[in-house]
Chain A
């Protein structure tokens, strides 16, 4: 096995080994040392991911010029194989005309052949590095955060199980396994949200998260089935039996992509799955409730990694989305609407973690907006934002956890304030995270968010859908302003003003231990420099960058014609840059004015917004939970009760009526039954004999 192959196997294998080790030994042997397997394994996986990035980079530079992008797959074992399972339809009328090339061979029946295959390409390498980096820091942080919890070993078992599932999710090479690990990370999320299962809210939140995700997965599964019936394979890569959905043959145009309504349906169904996992409207309702889980979990799973799986999946399927402009419009519109809606909700929330949760929803909306722009810049900038967001949002959550740790579990920003002296490290690191989230130049979020906005604005003219994208750009800019405001509202309310500490804090109200502040400092460093660095190297967004070596994205760069001349694009970029900068500063300034300078203004603003109905809308979280309860949950429960009643009375009644004769017979026999077991046995034997006799006649 090559170096790349070995690394690919090693990265998920280490956390898996840690899971098993902790699960078996944690309770009895490791006890309060249960973090060691997890921390060491994820550390190892992080090192391996770094090595993988360099290895892929080196290999990608030597790619054959005929190949589109760089990919390498290694096959471990066969999961399932059903021969001759798919018979292509004889007619092929729905294919995209411009991609229709003469097929090199007639289509043969293809098998349903799913191997356990891992793949290496730049997209996977980048995701692996992001995931293991944040996971490692969160695992270290958890040593301090979870130290007294009775479920210490259980926590680390789940965390390493999650890291295993997530690393597998981004490295597998077919849709079946993608779905497998898609659900597996959902399971880890379920287990970790309900980690404190004695809390009814936590138990309910876990179930809710799983079920809402199931609705999304319903779409995802339909999408996968539709892919199977359309393409006759579910592999990303080419195999001897069939051209993969994202494989070289198809990217080269040797085998066509299907266009039209089918393509749109596939994309929208896959996107429904992404909406569930990545908490996009209308399936975003589970994420705020998921904050019932321990804070490191919120940082790792519900901010930095798992929720970005939807973004990863759509980016991975870029060629499919290239075949359907309609689907791209939907993705962009949903992303943009989610970004604005979640930002509005975040304005009025009082639970620090929920503010951050809504900001996660909003930032994920930006990523989908970028993906929906449908240009190479859009997709790569979404991935760029995914990486920077992972760093600064993990930082913010861990900072919030540090606050919560010090406040004895209180997380309501109305109950404490002025903590900057008590928690100096938390204060500074949180500030850097907040600046990155608000998109203040030159912090991490600025560069990536700006790239997304530029991609959308670029689509805003000289184009059929120009006006549509232009409107999206304007809305997203408004959301950027709101982002700066709500971020700094939370920051000022927590760390500034008169020092107030809730009674629950007790003697805890001091800075967190080094195992917690260490990761905070590293992430803060990242929040300052990671955006600038990658903006400068253009690894993500450059047309010749590292990420573009991914086959899917390389295809996108071939397929999307430059929408406008270089100079206009340059001008657009500059305009966007200036507007973003102004908006970010305006937002921070507004927050400072409201919460540091004149609190009275807050009330005035609240009153004004209440007049417009916006305040209630925001505080009520757009009323999604009651609406879903009234429109989905209640009717289904009523239908269930109706079915149960129907079953009891109508069906069983009918059956009993039809079976009147047997029932009467039963009634006749019932008095005989008590001690007369032998009678029945005898009757049966006689019956059998009679039967045999009848046959012999």
Chain B
């Protein structure tokens, strides 16, 4: 299995290298490679041992020394593995890349080989981000995603593509440099503060799970990182991740990049790359800097909720299809981050599920807008009217995805929103310290009002473009075709997963829950949830790290409390079988 993960991650990049042939052959090669990658991801998802507490934290691991040499006290490793946080984003990436290839099929008509090469390389970069277990490796993949997308926007974009590409590149690069500094500072702090003995003594570790474990142990022993430093480092990491997400007010690169990007670029950008930011928060900020996350919680929640409402309002005023959907992303990512920052079980699972949901629905929306653009050659909403009559199948998919995006129950968006809002309310009503309770309640109510606004701008978009009397833009091609088999094939898998998550979210939640519990346990403790820490402290001293503490397996055993059956507190006899 470990080779399967490695193969799946590297397959697209390898395919990019050997890709060749004439223009139409290139498309088939790219499709084949992405489909194979998707197949690999499906096998990994099906084989993922979510009920096994140890294995599920580092599934299909490949862990080899990489940049280590004798005499240099650092241990940078090529270490990749799947866990509950990365699993679904990993699968989502492989699915959306197939969609991206399919929507580019006719739309890209120049330099096809280069286009598909970049797309495949980008896929490897994104997959790498979600499986990397080493900070340097993570950062490499993290930055690596920038380059192909920069070119995708800059070469195949529309009129303002260069400005958009440069703004996107510099904006995100500027933030991520600070992120790197923050991550390195954590490594160095750990190096000087974590007592180690034996073979690993004096080695600087870059392993994410090991670092997480160290920081947790130190914290449990009362020797954790001081709050001031934590906040400083939190802000450093925040710079890169918040720009990626994007959180208000760092979002202005996003509409520009979306509008100018080709359809495939928008699908990937909205579907996957924004999640890299939110993923970073869950992977690093919460478990490594829990006190800062708890201390900053009101601020972070306010930022998220402002993003929700503000993004929705700005979306309401847009006259360009892609800008509207881009601002809807700002709003929806606000929901994801609200869940992540509220950090209790419900909110966390809802927030992470919502990342996947947003990838599916907004990915599908951008694909649909691309299909519209191919037919009508305009993105102005006012140019359209009543085209459901001309393209009924496209209209069906559009309505379906819109309903998913506005959180209609029985589809995926509802599940995430409901869980994370329940969690947010719980934070406001039951768990908040008194002086914050009012703020949290206000945040929760405002967030729910974002759901109403979301329905408004999306439904009026559908109404203006698809319903009413037929009004066709003057430069539409004649006659307008409805969706082709290829386009339906691109959208159907997304629709199926959208419905699946809506009907049986338990399948998805069960696989992410143990990991998320583990990652958020310390934040919850820091936020004053005594029950969690009661469970936590019971077992934290049972496992000391072993002498060869390089891979995650050992570090994991610190954290088994999350996997043990939930403890009734205080214990009662008839609670559980």
Contacts and interface: CB of A to CB of B under 8 A. Distances in A.
A complexed with B: yes
Given A644-B318, A666-B166, A681-B147, A207 B346 contact: no
Contact of B426 (A78, A84, A229): A229
A20 interface: no
B452 interface: yes
Interface stretch (A219-227, A308-316, A351-359): A219-227
A688 B429 CA distance: 48
B285 to A, nearest CB: 22
Contacts of B414: 180, 183
B267 interface: no
Contacts of A215: 452
Given A80-B419, A112-B346, A643-B310, A652 B252 contact: yes
B338 to A, nearest CB: 13
B313 A207 contact: no
B431 interface: yes
Given A80-B415, A666-B170, A647 B505 contact: no
A670 B469 contact: no
Contacts of B310: 643, 647
B456 A82 contact: no
Interface string A209-239: 0110011001001100110111000000000
A198 interface: yes
A85 B418 CA distance: 14
Nearest to A667: B166
Contacts of B317: 637, 640-641, 643-644
A207 B452 CA distance: 12
Interface in A676-697: 677, 680-681, 684, 688, 692, 695-696
A33 interface: no
Contact of B249 (A82, A86, A183, A651): A651
A184 interface: yes
A692 B313 contact: no
A86 B426 contact: yes
A683 B74 CA distance: 26
Interface in A639-681: 639-641, 643-644, 647, 651-652, 654-655, 659, 662-663, 665-666, 669-670, 673, 677, 680-681
A105 B426 contact: no
Nearest to A84: B566
Contacts of A200: 467-469
A183 B408 contact: yes
Interface in B395-427: 403, 408-410, 414-415, 418-419, 421-423, 425-426
A186 B428 CA distance: 29
A647 B314 contact: yes
B22 interface: no
Given A183-B409, A218-B452, A659-B174, A229 B504 contact: no
A81 interface: yes
Nearest to B529: A87
Contact of A83 (B418, B431, B566): B566
B80 to A, nearest CB: 18
B451 interface: yes
Contacts of A105: 572, 574-575
Contacts of A77: 504, 506
Given A86-B426, A108-B572, A226-B425, A203 B463 contact: yes
B418 A176 contact: yes
A176 B403 CA distance: 18
A585 to B, nearest CB: 46
Looking at A83, A111, A182, which has the most chain B CB atoms within 10 Å of its CB?
Answer: A83
Interface string A155-182: 0000000000000000000001001111
B455 A210 contact: yes
A184 B506 contact: no
A225 B441 CA distance: 11
A207 B250 contact: no
Nearest to B573: A105
A36 interface: no
A5 interface: no
A207 B250 CA distance: 32
Contacts of A677: 151, 155
Interface in A466-508: none
Contacts of B448: 218, 221-222, 225
Contacts of B570: 106, 108
Given A187-B403, A644-B318, A681-B147, A109 B426 contact: no
Interface in A392-443: none
Given A218-B451, A684-B147, A696 B249 contact: no
Nearest to B469: A198
Interface string B63-88: 00001000010101000000000000
Contact of A203 (B143, B456, B467, B513): B467
A586 interface: no
A240 to B, nearest CB: 8
Contact of B460 (A106, A176, A207): A207
Contacts of B445: 222
A493 B459 CA distance: 39
A211 B459 contact: yes
Contact of B316 (A86, A206, A636): A636
A218 B445 CA distance: 9
A515 to B, nearest CB: 28
A681 B415 CA distance: 42
A627 to B, nearest CB: 18
A221 B318 contact: no
A85 B509 CA distance: 13
B349 interface: yes
Interface in B369-391: 386, 388-389
B492 interface: no
Nearest to B165: A673
A470 to B, nearest CB: 37
Contacts of A226: 425, 429
Contact of B422 (A89, A111, A199, A225): A225
Nearest to B143: A688
A180 B463 contact: no
A197 interface: yes
A200 B386 CA distance: 9
Contacts of A684: 147
B510 to A, nearest CB: 7
A211 B429 contact: no
B171 interface: yes
A83 B345 contact: yes
B444 interface: yes
B46 interface: no
A40 interface: no
A204 interface: yes
A82 B469 contact: no
A514 B418 CA distance: 47
Interface in B424-445: 425-426, 428-431, 444-445
22 contacts: A80-B419, A83-B513, A84-B531, A85-B426, A106-B572, A180-B410, A197-B388, A197-B468, A198-B468, A200-B469, A206-B467, A210-B455, A218-B452, A221-B421, A228-B422, A240-B576, A643-B313, A647-B310, A662-B174, A669-B166, A670-B166, A695-B76
Instruction: List the 8 shortest-distance A-B pairs measured between CB atoms, nearest first.
Output: A180-B409, A203-B467, A229-B429, A640-B316, A644-B317, A225-B425, A662-B170, A84-B566
Given A80-B415, A181-B409, 6 more contacts: A85-B344, A86-B430, A87-B431, A210-B459, A225-B422, A636-B316
